[in-house]
Structure 1
């Protein structure tokens, strides 16, 4: 089968299209014929091996898994002997392993039926980013109806879901983004939009019950100035140098939270079948819609990742493996 592979860490230049063996599902796994695969920040981290602090998990000298990619949408090709929820031919979406390929394996517990009405490309844009947004708001942020929520990074993959999910949960939402992305953030339901190139949202003049800082690098002291006295900050990733990559901020937040009234939380998202079903319900009811920035064919995966890394994307970038026309 055709797949994108890499043998060393580096920029998108290390990726190439190659012929590899088709994977075989383990007892609790599903083999999926991939129609589309989402591109997210996790893919970039695994490709570059950054931050280096986490390389024991990625692979010390080279990637442990040659084929990148986690999000997927496609049709079930085969199932392991312990799989009970799916059978060949089912349309699914979720989290797999090595999804920038014609076939990929995924644990049964990380898959769900594809939401009705979505194309495979739209469905592939959902799993990792929407799960992150849902768990940041509902579980770590414990958002309540009427709460004032600030989403920093509102135009990205996670941010576009966070804005919509916060609205669906009854919050008043302010989205923060750059100048060229304000129209998108407003169109997906933000009550207020702030252009961070023109306004400093952490100057202390406005306060929020919950702040989601998505892959930011603002100091905790400045973010706390924008919180109510008992508000909650949820850090979703972080930016930084090649060794720590913002993990120092993630480590400091819980320590500081123990001695202040404000709650400073770090999100470690979980890839759960049950939460995929929650997202499916919100999508099928029309309260959440995937925002797909652009699609690229499999052989142009490096360019798709460059678009993500350069922060040009509005919403999610998706790699198409089987065209929608061919899949019907």
Structure 2
């Protein structure tokens, strides 16, 4: 099969190459997916680059344990292990798999769900990691309620576009922060108010307090974020990038966890997980017309390095997808 492989860490253009390798072997609880499309998220870049360095505690200290990057997947079930009971050969599925930048990928059955009927495979591949992260940020950690004021920092990215729509589905009044060229996009997916961060840092001016702040792509200080919260508001940090090779922006998350027990505000952070139950919830929202994946552009499998670079440079409006 054709696959994008890497033998060492580094920039995508330098370490990724298209190669022909064997299909992955299946365990008893595994599903072999014929990949028709795969999503790209910032987690892919972190694994390819091996940065920040703590990533390597999981992915491999000196060289990557997994030769094929990619997690988001949409495709057709090609084969199943003997213990798989929820899926059959021929089913159209979406979810997460190991090494989805390939013609075939192996996935656990509890990481897949039937593809939403309204979506193409390319659209479905844009959903799993980002939408699960957004759902868990809004529902589980932000605990957003109808009528609350919610601020989403990084509203135009992969997670952000889902978070705006899910928060609106939960009845919130949503403000999104993004750059000038992405204001119309964030408005179009339901944001009640948008802030152009290139023109003003409105959250520091004290005119508005938010019940929930979901910080996806920001790097504002905890002091700034807390000042924009109500006295008993909730901050959820799901991202934030710096150039640090050791912490890479995670220092804010660590400080939030330490400070949270000593303040009336809830300062939260989490690492998202993907599972069939959440994928089914997301599929219901999609099939009801409440949630729509936003795709910036697609690339063929041979151009995975270009796709990662496009995302890394901050140009993407929504998700970037690989067609296989």
Tell me the TM-score normalized by structure 1: 0.97
Q: In structure 1, what is the Cα distance between the partners aligned to 2:38 and 2:307?
A: 11
Check the 8 A contact 1:154/1:160 in 2, yes or no: yes
Aligned residue number for residue 179 of structure 1 = 180
C-alpha displacement at 1:138, in angstroms? 0.3
Instruction: Name the stretch that deviates more: 265-274 or 311-320.
Output: 265-274
Q: Which runs of 5+ in 2 are unaligned?
A: none
What does 1:203-218 align with in structure 2 at a 5 Å threshold? 203=204, 204-218=206-220
Aligned residue number for residue 4 of structure 2 = 4
Q: In structure 1, what is the Cα distance between the partners aligned to 2:118 and 2:143?
A: 30
C-alpha displacement at 1:252, in angstroms? 1.0
Aligned residue number for residue 325 of structure 1 = none
Q: In structure 2, what is the Cα distance between the partners aligned to 1:201 and 1:312?
A: 23
Check the 8 A contact 1:150/1:173 in 2, yes or no: yes
Check the 8 A contact 1:210/1:233 in 2, yes or no: yes
Aligned residue number for residue 116 of structure 1 = 117
Q: In structure 1, what is the Cα distance between the partners aligned to 2:174 and 2:8?
A: 41
Q: In structure 2, what is the Cα distance between the partners aligned to 1:295 and 1:313?
A: 11
C-alpha displacement at 1:232, in angstroms? 0.3
**Of 255, 262, 266, the match for 1:263:** 266
Aligned residue number for residue 276 of structure 1 = 279
Tell me the TM-score normalized by structure 2: 0.98
For 1:58-111, what per-residue CA distance to the aligned partner results, in whole angstroms no more than 9, with x for missing partners?
111111111000000000000011100111100000010000000000110000
What does 1:13-28 align with in structure 2 at a 5 Å threshold? 13=13, 14-28=15-29
Q: In structure 2, what is the Cα distance between the partners aligned to 1:81 and 1:102?
A: 22
What does 1:245-264 align with in structure 2 at a 5 Å threshold? 245-264=248-267
Aligned residue number for residue 99 of structure 1 = 100
C-alpha displacement at 1:201, in angstroms? 2.9
C-alpha displacement at 1:199, in angstroms? 1.3
SS of equivalent to 1:258: helix
Instruction: Name the stretch that deviates more: 17-26 or 148-157.
Output: 17-26
What does 1:178-327 align with in structure 2 at a 5 Å threshold? 178-203=179-204, 204-240=206-242, 241-321=244-324
Q: In structure 1, what is the Cα distance between the partners aligned to 2:26 and 2:46?
A: 25
C-alpha displacement at 1:291, in angstroms? 0.3
For 1:158-214, what per-residue CA distance to the aligned partner results, in whole angstroms no more than 9, with x for missing partners?
000000000001000000000000010000110001000111133122110000000
For 1:129-159, what per-residue CA distance to the aligned partner results, in whole angstroms no more than 9, with x for missing partners?
0000000000001000111000000000000
C-alpha displacement at 1:117, in angstroms? 1.6
SS of equivalent to 1:136: helix
Runs of 4+ in 1 over 3 A off after TM superposition: none
SS of equivalent to 1:163: helix
SS of equivalent to 1:142: coil
Check the 8 A contact 1:201/1:226 in 2, yes or no: no
Q: Which runs of 5+ in 1 are unaligned?
A: 322-328
SS of equivalent to 1:255: helix
C-alpha displacement at 1:239, in angstroms? 1.5
RMSD: 0.8
Q: In structure 2, what is the Cα distance between the partners aligned to 1:49 and 1:56?
A: 10
Please say if 1:69 is aligned against 2:74. no
C-alpha displacement at 1:273, in angstroms? 0.4
SS of equivalent to 1:221: helix
Instruction: Name the stretch that deviates more: 71-80 or 45-54.
Output: 45-54
